[in-house]
Amino acid sequence: MVDLRRLTEFPEPSYRTVQFSSYDRRSRFPSRPGWFANSDGFGGEPIPNFEKVLREPDEDGIGVYLICDVEGPGAVVRLWTARIGGTLRVFLDGSREALYDGPAQAFFQRTYEALTPSAAGPFEGSYSQAEAGYYPVPFARRLRMEWEGDLATLHFYQVQVRQYEAGARVTSFRPGDLDTYAADITAVARVLAHPDEEWTWGSSREPVAITSTVPAGGREDVLALEGPAAIERLTLRVQAQDVDAALRQGLLHIVFDESPRGQVQAPLGDFFGAAPGINPFDSVPFTVRADGTMICRLWMPFRESARITIENRGAQRITVTGSALPADYTWSDDRSLHFRARWRVHHDMDASEALPQDVPYLIARGRGVFVGAAALIMNPTSVPSSWGNWWGEGDEKIFVDDDESPSTFGTGSEDYFNYAWSSSRIFSHAFCGQPRNDGPANRGFVTNHRWQIVDAIPFQERFDFFMELFSHEPVPGFSYARIAYLYGAPTIVDDHVPITGRDVELPRLPESWMPVGRKYTDATVFLQAEEIVEGEPAMSFVEGALWAGGRLLVWHPDQIGDELVFTVPVAEEGQYNLAVTAARRPGAGSFSAFVDGTPLDLNGSPGPVELAVPYRTLSRNFKSQAVPLTSGAHALTLRSEGPGAIGVDFVWLRPTPK
């Protein structure tokens, strides 16, 4: 789970990585109807989302269904669910006694704790990451998983399994292993939870410094190494007048063994999985620190030579500093693989629910191992809510070798990236993260990444990765950059295309937008903060495309307890959700809310809304439960509860559906 050197060689014994999931069974072939069908576990699907019906539903709607039945040696390496009820039964090696028989949700997200409730281990934030669980469960001869539940209820799931070649020696999991290997489990958990702090380097060599200032339109070689060897760590930092533009317009080229074109060709920021801009996160293969330091831990082996070049496609000069840590490495012509990172972008796309499309991440021919992907999105929607502005309803589809239909077929883009329900939260884990999501909800710039380390996908001849672009509402002007990370034999070929000047133009959000009601916000009235504020409070304005109308009202309370009052007109008596779309920024304050003097809980919490974040500027929605309002004017009051300014963009008035 934390051995990155092993990725540099084709695995031995070899294995296939396959995924069993609740994808819509009407999706079979790209040219057949139903390819973009989207009943992925919500309940009531026209075809049960399982391999087989084992027992038809009884009078209460409870049936038994086969998730998977895998013959031969293997291992469960990843589990994910957005939500799943019912009972899960797991059998290993043909045993009639279940290894696990209990609540499905617990096993999918807290596997070891579910198997051994007394097991003590630092699992949260290490083996448990967002909505996924990375709790390896090996088996020597067979894995069988059955689900008992009601098909009318939520039952999202993904199960990733390694299927080893025949004859591979695998020792099956037993609950006692958690005690036997407790020290190893704990040691790995420390690294998974805090890679940047806990990582240890294998090389005893001295780092080689990198420093170069590249003029606009220039190209500079910044590092040359002789082999056989490997780069164990690459650390870079970019300085420029406009750092965000430099991170996209400065291109990283890494050439191994005199390849005619770089095995790595990507914008500097995108390569590290956090662009646009500096968006800090910490993971096993990559770390981006708040000071702009970017670290790659993926080993990069070479037989004869390695060369790193920085190309500047922008109009400003950029300075790149850092270092590379060389490591001893013996190249094997039979098994060694070059590291590759393939970036591409499509601007001005039309995202649509009516016309979803497969977006290619990577198409490769030859031998290699796929180890992860990042999506770097600009979503210019004017809908401010996640049910309405979500861009990633579509599934990942991965064809390996002789697959006629995908051996990895997902249930939603966020599910691939290990979270769920189009969440806008910022998070970072060992194998996944969302270091940027501007908001409100999923509007603006959004970056997701997932590193497939323990769940890497080897391929002998073919690897095709597509992700559906399937948005809730039509969104013209959508920008979709993505990068695929893999190791490949020197003979591999892929669909990488030259990067153009248009490609590396940093996409811009529309300069002025106003929120519109769709899906969740249908019939919602949106009120600009500056148009409904009462009196003359101490306030200023921040300009920017993140804010409705191009500007944000910023209130500067003198002291805790000061109040900002908005007048909210209500046309018709009824039940309403009130919401405030506010700015989360460094140094921001906190507030509590009242409507006509009655406390208003926002986002289900009676406490103050905390707006301060250590870095970034975010737009976030803070919504109330249904409150009764008469027709006429009502006072929405925000009271300062902590030092710092409070930015308010707009206020919602949403009729609660009857």
**489-509 pLDDT, tens digit each:** 999 999 999 999 999 999 999
In this prediction, residue 275 carries a pLDDT of 87
Mean pLDDT of 584-613: 93
Q: What percent of the chain has pLDDT over 90?
A: 96
Q: Per CATH, which fold does 523-655 belong to?
A: Jelly Rolls (2.60.120)
Query: Which pair of structure tokens corresponds to residue 518?
Result: 């769709």
Q: Map out the domains of the chain as residue ranges.
A: 5-198, 204-327, 341-484, 523-655
Confidence at 606, pLDDT banded by 50, 70, 90: confident
**Are domains 5-198 and 523-655 of this chain identical in fold?**
yes
Q: For residues 421, 426, 429 and 432, what is the CA-based torsion angle, rounded to 10 degrees? A: 60
Average of pLDDT values for 233-248? 97
Q: Indicate the helix (H) or strand (E) that contains 399.
A: strand 396-400
- From the list 110, 62, 111, 69, the residue with the least C-alpha distance to 87 is 62
Q: What CATH code is assigned to 5-198?
A: 2.60.120
The CA-CA-CA angle for residues 295, 298, 303, to 5°, reads: 120
| Residue 26, H or E segment | none
Q: What pLDDT score does 120 carry?
A: 62
Regarding pTM above 0.85, the answer is: yes
The amino acid occupying position 391 is W
The region of weakest confidence among 243-257, 465-479, 533-547, 603-617 is 603-617
Mean pLDDT value of segment 9-29? 97
Band the pLDDT of 605: cuts 50, 70, 90: confident
Q: What integer best gives the mean pLDDT of the chain? A: 96
Please say if the pLDDT value at position 657 is more than 90: no
CATH superfamily entry for domain 341-484: Protein of unknown function DUF2961 (2.60.120.1390)
Mean pLDDT value across residues 425-446: 98
Report the pLDDT averaged over residues 420-428: 97
CATH classification number, 204-327, choose in 2.60.120.1390, 3.90.1150.10, 3.40.50.300, 1.10.3720.10: 2.60.120.1390
Contact 264, 254 (CB under 8 A): yes
For 207-222, the pLDDT digits (tens) are: 999 999 999 999 999 9
The pLDDT value recorded for residue 603 is 80
Mean local confidence (pLDDT), 257-263: 95
CA distance 72 to 64: 24
Q: Which of 68, 64, 89 is nearest to 143 (CA)?
A: 68
Q: Where are the alpha helices (DSSP H) in 337-494?
A: 386-389, 413-416
Does the pLDDT value for residue 583 go beyond 80? yes
Q: What is the DSSP-derived secondary structure letter of residue 596?
A: T
Looking at residue 604, what is its pLDDT? 80
Q: For 71-130, what is each residue's pLDDT tens digit?
A: 999 999 999 999 999 999 999 999 999 999 999 999 999 999 999 887 667 899 999 999
The residue type found at 651 is: V
Per residue in 320-370, pLDDT (tens digit) is 999 999 999 999 999 999 999 999 999 999 999 999 999 999 999 999 999
Query: pLDDT tens digits, residue range 46-79?
Result: 999 999 999 999 999 999 999 999 999 999 999 9
